[in-house]
Structure 1
Amino acid sequence: MNTSTRRLMAMPLMAGITFALIWLAIGALLLSLLLHFTSMKESNLGMMAFIVHSFASFVGGFSAGKRAESKGWYYGSSLGVFYGLIIIIVSFLATDVSLSLHSFILLLTVLAAGAFGGMIGVNLRK
């Protein structure tokens, strides 16, 4: 790995967002495969999407907390807010979905998952 890549990955929020988006892509791929190859209904997709977003935010918060070495809850919850805003903005631009209670619940869920992941990431570093 060259020096600029190491420096970028050393920044906790950038590394966390990168890992969160990677896990989001993996989760979306798995959900689409489940939808295609099983008898899963599209009506179940909403709850499964919440689970994928929560897990992606948790992993991103974990990564950010592990790199930060302290204040894991701060870096994890910051990551959760940024991740949630990215998801809300993308959903607004891609499908013209307006802000609703669903958006607020998603933001709170990923904030909590990111903060929890950040706290675990800081404590597992030692």
Structure 2
Amino acid sequence: MEQRQIFSSALYGILAILTLVLAASFIVSLFLRFSSMEESSVAWFLVLFSFLAVFIGGFIAGGKAKRKGWLVGGATAVLYTLVIFLVQFLGYNQLFDLQQSLMHAGYTGASVLGGILGVNLIGGNFRE
């Protein structure tokens, strides 16, 4: 039962992450299309927003699970990394390089932190 709750909560976090990332990608693509900005000028913004989106996803997952925020946040990050890896490998026939591996390690840390805070701030006061 507990594993189903962890997986279900992680799926809520993944849904939140993907929604935020897709919305930001759409907005940034509109700016790039209809302004004179170039991709290099928004690269750091996208990296920071990705970390924020993964943190929010971990926060939502931790709040939904109501316990073990570090585990739920970690599961959310691992599922997100798996989705990105599958898209990149199956769609572009490329593996992660060192920079991407480090980015996803950072995503895991951000999601774990979000999960811990989600449990403690919105998860209620559940005690075993």
TM-score (norm 2): 0.79
Q: Partner residue of 1:108?
A: 105
Distance 1:91 1:48 in 2: 21
Residue aligned with 1:107, SS? helix
The 8 Å contact of residues 81 and 110 in structure 1, kept in 2 or not, is answered as no
Distance 2:14 2:61 in 1: 8
Identity of counterpart residues, as a percentage?
A: 32
Number of equivalenced pairs? 119
> Is structure 2 residue 18 aligned with structure 1 residue 21?
yes
Residue aligned with 2:28, SS? helix
Over residues 12-70 of structure 1, what are the superposed CA-to-partner deviations in whole Å (9 max), with x where a residue is unaligned?
11111111111111111122122223332222454333223212211110111001111
Instruction: Identify unmatched segments of 5+ residues in structure 1.
Output: 1-7
Residue aligned with 2:29, SS? helix
Point out 4+ residue stretches in structure 1 off by more than 6 angstroms.
none
Q: CA RMSD in A?
A: 2.2
Distance 2:92 2:108 in 1: 23
Q: Partner residue of 1:95?
A: 92
